[in-house]
Amino acid sequence: MRNYNSRKRILVTGGAGFLGSHLIDRLLDRGDEVVCVDNLFTGAKRNIEHLHSHPRLEFMRHDVTFPLYIEVDQIYNLACPASPIHYRHDPVQTTKTSVHGAINMLGLAKRLRARIFQASTSEVYGDPAIHPQPESYWGNVNPIGPRSCYDEGKRCAETLFFDYYRQHNLDIRVARIFNTYGPRMHPNDGRVVSNFIVQALKGEPITIYGEGQQTRSFCYVDDLIDGIVRFVDAEPGFAGPINLGNPSEFTIRELAQQVLDIVGEKSKLVFCPLPADDPTQRKPDIALAREKLGWEPRVKLEEGLKKTVSYFEDLLLEGE
């Protein structure tokens, strides 16, 4: 598509979701036109309602498992349930979203000769035998487990992206996103940060799976969006994959304590059996992101948690 000025027309699939809505904010702030596509399975209109009358935003309710005919300059493919509760609710549809969605968006990008970004995931590493995880690690994934609809769906999407890159010389960007948190997370998505905050604010027991010694690395959403935009705006020649996440590592018990310190000591810790195939450790090696993008996270966990707690406090007051 020909661009007659510096303003781009950009498609964001999954645009009403947690990450997608923050990305749209960033793109609109810099002057782009944005087409937000979402079927609202896990996304929510409230995430973009502050943009309701924005003259450069268009919302389209559409499922990416079906072809989309539109004219744009760039594509960010973020459409897919990303929490175990959501993707296990309909695992077949989750796989279709990752695979058919990738095929449809890649076909669109091929027709338009548009640069296309794929939101992949740290779940492609499975329960890693290498720590921290570099992009060169092929992963340790159960292909038939309860999480495989998401893990293997994203792995297949990566395969498709790189096959289009090799076969059709398509301008692709693939990022493996590690645990990200912040305002607009779904309150019932089952992710550990939102779970702990909502439970603590309600004074309910905080549910910890296993002994709570499994580790995660938590990246604040603003930092992640900055990394994604830098990656897509970089000069052609580097397709990825690239890790985007925070290399600061915390145990789940440490996270629970930080949430309690912010909210107040009203909740008790309750320990439950560890879910099947739940990774025991997760930490990104971001040397490549530092080298290629000059990027690394800046928001400390305590600072990001305070902003996220404030968001959920308002959400609970509204009765959402």
Question: Is the separation of the CB atoms in 180 and 224 below 8 Å?
Answer: yes
Q: Beta strand pairing status for 219-220 and 180-181?
A: parallel
Query: Which tokens belong to 320?
Result: 């959402």
Query: Which tokens belong to 284?
Result: 């990104």
DSSP 48: T
Q: Rounded to 5 degrees, what angle do the CA atoms 5, 289, 120 make?
A: 80
Q: Which residue has the tokens 């693939």?
A: 174
Catalytic-residue membership of 165: no
What sign results for the dihedral spanned by CA atoms 134, 101, 297, 311?
negative
Helix (H, G, I), strand (E, B) or coil at 118: strand
Pick the catalytic residue from 150, 164, 165, 181.
150
CA-to-CA distance for 79 and 124, rounded, in angstroms? 16
Show which residues are catalytic: 150
